[in-house]
């Protein structure tokens, strides 16, 4: 996401709106603090992206083995059953 200042936006608003229409998104900063976002309507939200992914997995009948996917992602936090010593 592009970073722009309030001054940049006010000097060339039409340009930034055209860029947003083309698919870009912006975070607007004032005094080094983010104050607003301009998000393109072409941008997919995270839920839309997840739904599209889920639909593809279902339609292509892809078999995902969660044990295989998460084989190297384990929580090694000590527990009463498995202390750290």
Strand bridging mode 26-30 / 2-5:
parallel
**For the chain, what is the mean pLDDT?**
84
Rounded to an integer, what distance in angstroms lies between the CA atom of residue 7 and that of residue 44?
Answer: 28
* Tokens representing residue 74 in the block: 């384990």
Highest mean pLDDT range out of 23-32, 50-59, 64-73? 23-32
Q: Average pLDDT in the 5-21 region? A: 94
Mean pLDDT of 29-44: 86
55 burial class (0-12, 13-18, 19+ CB within 10 angstroms)?
exposed
Model pTM? 0.51
- Residue 4: HSE in the Cβ half-sphere, 13 Å Cα cutoff: 24
């Amino acid at each position: 996401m592009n970073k722009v200042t309030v001054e940049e936006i006010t000097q060339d608003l039409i340009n930034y709106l055209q860029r947003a229409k083309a698919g870009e998104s912006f975070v607007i900063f004032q005094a080094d603090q983010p104050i607003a976002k301009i998000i393109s309507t072409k941008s997919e939200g995270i839920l839309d992206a997840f739904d599209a992914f889920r639909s593809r997995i279902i339609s292509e009948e892809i078999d995902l083995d969660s044990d295989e996917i998460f084989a190297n992602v384990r929580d090694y936090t000590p527990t009463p059953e498995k202390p750290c010593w």
